[in-house]
Chain A
Amino acid sequence: MRRRVTNIFGAAAAFLDRSRRFGWIDAALLLAALAGAFGVARLAAEWTGALRPAVEIDLSLRALPRYTLLSLSRGLAAYVLSLLFTLGYGWWAAKDPLAERVLVPLLDVLQSIPVLGFMPGLVLGLVALFPHSNAGLELASIVMIFTGQAWNMTFSFYHSVRSVPRDLGEVATLNRFTGWQRFRWVELPFSAIGLVWNSMMSVAGGWFFLMVSEAFVLGDHDFRLPGLGSYMSVAVARGDGRAMIAAVVAMTVMIVALDQLLWRPVVAWSQKFRVEESGQAEAMESWFLDLVRRSRVLHWARGALGHASRRPRPRRERAARRSAALARAASLLLFVALLGGLAAGGAALVHLLRALPGAEWLALGGAAFLTLGRVLVSTALGTVWALPAGLAIGLSPRLSRVLQPVVQVVASFPAPMLFPAVIAVLAAAGVGLGWGSMLLMLLGTQWYVLFNVVAGATAIPADLREAARVYRLGTLQRFRELYFPSVFPYLVTGWITAAGGAWNASIVSEYVTFRGDTLMTDGLGARISAAAAAGRFPALAGAVSVMALVVVLFNRLVWRRLHRVAEERFSLTR
């Protein structure tokens, strides 16, 4: 009798124990899922709602969370789009040698084209496509952000798929993994780490375009969207300092939250996809991931999902061969369609450009030199402070522990949000936009240099630093002979990214609307903005083409060579 009681008691205790593990983290996750569903429903209403002639921005603090969430939803939607594009395009380029020959150079050109140059055309086109709802404008904003996010992710994925180690690929071949199994078990895991890092970079860079596209005004057409970008622009227009600060705080909170709740956990989780045995000395940790791993709900969900995906599909040799043939045909068809699209696009572009008189081309050439100069000066200025600062941070474990997260947040902060404040200061100091625009470019791009130098400095082998200390090298000699050469490859990467960002930034920093006035200085970026504002499409196409050409040429002639020198002479890993 007694034993039975104990048994019953034991069972009950075990049940309670199990149910107790259904802890608050589960409740939080369920709540988050509900909130997410509600948010999506609200978003759908927002999208399909009647087209607003002009957005009314409520500057009260109560409205701010809603604007922040709207901005966040656009950033995330664009990221999902970028990820899908990356997986599709990157995989296709890596798998089809015929398509690869077009897809890879095309990607190279695409990433050189200043995204903001597309904006007017994109916005007008999509708004015309959805004349009665907000969907067109929302889509335009998302596609804008997408064009700022996708390319580097795609390149990273393409390279990873191409460089799957031979033996890992052979296991898949020998055991006749299906295309999907090879993708799911080999290629995707192998690319995971690169994809995660590039995703972080891309999303951080995406806020820049989000701010610009939310506050977009073309001539006297108001294309603004409710969000942090428009909130900020209205606050600036009205000179509302409290609202400006609130917007900056909201942006910061959003970036920190994303970092802690999304990227940290994903980075920590992705460590299991490391291929090399040792590598990365410090263990990546995330408090949120640890919490989530304790969740029971997630555990159940994963089990159920895993079970569903494990249903076997009987293999039929002939069916497999037929589907392979089908895939080849589809690939060829897509390829032909791509070529057709490119040819049509090229023809349309040539037609547009023919309307542009010769004198205008000449002026564009001059403007290109002006902007090139600004891009280089702003990159150089960034290097002047970021190189010593990056070395200081990277060489001191204490400093890098404290400052690294701060730098990450600051770097993700979209520079256009700060433009109005900087312009006000510049105007007060009597500095024109000719010089001031360089400062505006610098605002967004200096972080790339800093980031890369910090990474390079942390990677300097301890024995090299010890040798420098043992032989009592002076500070200057140490910098010249150890630090600078060892961070040089990283510095070059930083320069390439920073210069790319500066080209984009030139479009919004050489031509600025400030308190109702338009400030501008001659340059390629200003010409793009001005042509867009006036709706002169041949001029717009011409300016964008020239910029793309200059960027591609400069990449080929300067950056790539510098990169090769850095890799061959200063790489520490060879």
Chain B
Amino acid sequence: MAEVMPTPRAVANGEPLCELRHVDKEFPQGSGTPLKVLSDVSLAIRPDEVVALLGPSGCGKSTILRVLAGLTQATRGEVRWHGAPLEGLVPGIGFVFQSFALYPWMSVTENVEAVLRAKGLPPEEVSARAARAIQTVGLAGFEEAFPRELSGGMKQRVGMARAFSLDPELLFMDEPFSQVDALTAESLRAEVLDIWAAKDRNPSSIVMVSHDIKEVAYMADRIVVLDANPGRVRTVVVNDLPRPRDYRSPGLLQLVDRLHDIITGMEMPDVPVPAGAVIEPIPAATPSEIVGLLEYLDARQGREEVFRIASDTHREFGALITVVNAAELLDLVDTPRRMVVLSPEGQAFVRASPEDRITLWREKIVKLRVFQLVKEALARDERHELSREFVLELLALHLPDESYEQVFDTFIGWARFADLFSYDDQTETVGLQH
């Protein structure tokens, strides 16, 4: 094979820096089957590229990043680093955290210097490198400040300075701008790209996790779209728009549209799931969120585009999709492509009085298999009571791929709203109400 030096951007097919091959990841759950977060994920990070992992919450984006970094071990499959199996931690990476992960008892300089000192560098180099990194991210003058004195954006600058000071070959960023205000995030994105674009220096490649479609279209060369529950690679979209990119350029807008379609196509399938032997999972949305969505649609002639709803309601896209799916499961809305439309039943629900809403809601949910199962079990029980454990086991049996504690909480929320079952948090028992 020819020597491929990581020089120009055109090299997108060089030997991978790191790679996942058929990786599964499971987390043990209290009892019963372990929760599968990643299923057969294969992914290669090549020199000189920005790769974004895009997907709804719960698709294991952060887990992929941590497996790549060697922070958690894969349950099955192989993690490779420069062509050899990875042992322990990946050497020479920078990691930028969503929560910043700064030590609150250390000043800006001390936070950066700590990782350099851990590398065993001589003191002069430690202070020189730290000073340079702090300068690079525009924090000169804040060297002696403590993290609690800084705004979110400035904290993330410290996080970036800490990563850059190591001169890492690879930079991992886990939702780096989601806890930073929108304007600051804008400038941070451009700054990260500037630093990355200086070809004589590291980082060679960036892997970032995001749920912001515009952000990945602006930053990434390749966008890995992930499925949730368990996390799987849905598709990889190559983004070869020229840099520097412009948010309003037709090419970028087109790409954003395409990504929207891919995500809505997979998150809100137009063909209903065939009702088979398994019971349908209930999406983790609260009744008040669902009612809120219906009210929102009702105020807009009963229809709106899903991305518009997300930005109007300041919702993370994945979280909004959960609410939409829940409403659709109850036949309260329809989702032709990217639109969310109030169904006649949804309209009737919105117009109904509070008492009638409860009755309508109850009629809806008793059609769902989960509620039928629990209702039957309650009817069989002589005291008409079931323990939380029993219901959890029931859910685990029928919904092996879900986090059943979460399903249980949603289940109880819906049943309480319908005045169908009661739940006593102290004794952890489900009772029959109606």
Could you tell me which A residues sit within 8 Å of B by CB distance? 165, 167-168, 170-178, 181, 185-186, 189, 192, 272-275, 277, 310-315, 568-569
Contacts and interface: CB of A to CB of B under 8 A. Distances in A.
Given A277-B148, A312-B123, A176 B103 contact: no
A312 B117 contact: yes
B120 A314 contact: yes
B426 interface: yes
A310 B117 contact: yes
By CB atoms of chain B within 10 A, which of A168, A171, A185, A275 has the most? Answer: A171
5 contacts: A170-B71, A174-B89, A185-B106, A312-B123, A568-B426
B128 to A, nearest CB: 13
Given A168-B103, A174-B69, A310-B117, 7 more contacts: A170-B95, A171-B95, A175-B115, A175-B118, A176-B119, A272-B105, A277-B148
A463 to B, nearest CB: 22
B139 interface: no
Contacts of B99: 165, 167
Contacts of B106: 185
A176 B118 contact: yes
B101 A168 contact: yes
Contacts of A189: 103, 105
Contacts of B122: 312
3 closest A-B pairs by beta carbon, nearest first, are: A167-B101, A315-B120, A175-B115
Given A174-B93, A176-B118, A186-B103, A310 B148 contact: no
Interface string B118-157: 1111110010000000000000000000101000000000
B71 to A, nearest CB: 6
B426 A273 contact: no
B351 to A, nearest CB: 34
Contacts of A175: 114-115, 118-119, 166
Looking at A167, A181, A274, A275, the one whose CB has the most chain B CB atoms below 10 A away is A167
Nearest to A307: B123
B242 to A, nearest CB: 34
A185 to B, nearest CB: 6
A569 B426 CA distance: 8
Nearest to B162: A171
B120 A174 contact: no
A569 B424 CA distance: 12
Interface in B89-110: 89, 93, 95, 97, 99-101, 103-106
A181 B121 CA distance: 14
Q: Could you tell me the dominant secondary structure of chain B's interface residues? A: loop
Contact of B117 (A167, A181, A192, A314): A181
Contacts of B95: 170-171, 174
A174 B104 CA distance: 18
A300 to B, nearest CB: 18
Given A174-B69, A189-B105, A167 B97 contact: yes
Contacts of B103: 168, 171, 185-186, 189
A312 B146 contact: no
A76 to B, nearest CB: 26
A176 B89 contact: yes
Contacts of B117: 181, 310, 312
Nearest to A178: B118
Nearest to B90: A174
Nearest to A270: B105
Contacts of B120: 312-315
A186 B105 CA distance: 9
Nearest to A314: B120
Contacts of A274: 104, 148
Nearest to A174: B95
Nearest to B127: A310
A165 B103 CA distance: 10
A165 B119 CA distance: 22
A170 B101 contact: yes
Nearest to A184: B114
Nearest to B71: A170
A570 to B, nearest CB: 12
A183 to B, nearest CB: 13
Contacts of A186: 103
Contacts of B148: 274, 277
Which of A175, A181, A315 has the largest count of B CB atoms less than 10 A from its CB? A175
A192 B105 CA distance: 10
B119 A315 contact: yes
Nearest to A186: B103
Contacts of B101: 165, 167-168, 170-171
A182 to B, nearest CB: 9
Nearest to A311: B123
Contacts of A174: 69, 71, 89, 93, 95
Contacts of A185: 103, 106, 114
A57 to B, nearest CB: 47
Most A CB contacts (10 A, CB to CB) among B69, B89, B101, B146 go to B101
A177 B106 CA distance: 15
B429 to A, nearest CB: 15
B89 A312 contact: no
Interface string B395-434: 0000000000000000000000000000001100000000
Contact of A312 (B93, B100, B121): B121
Contacts of A310: 117, 123, 126
A325 to B, nearest CB: 14
Contacts of B121: 312
A192 B103 CA distance: 13
B143 to A, nearest CB: 16
Nearest to B69: A174
B329 to A, nearest CB: 30
Contacts of B146: 272
- Residue in B106, B117, B425 whose Cβ sees the most chain A Cβ within 10 Å: B117
A167 B162 CA distance: 14
Contacts of A165: 99, 101
A568 B126 CA distance: 48
A248 B166 CA distance: 60
A461 B126 CA distance: 46
Nearest to A172: B118
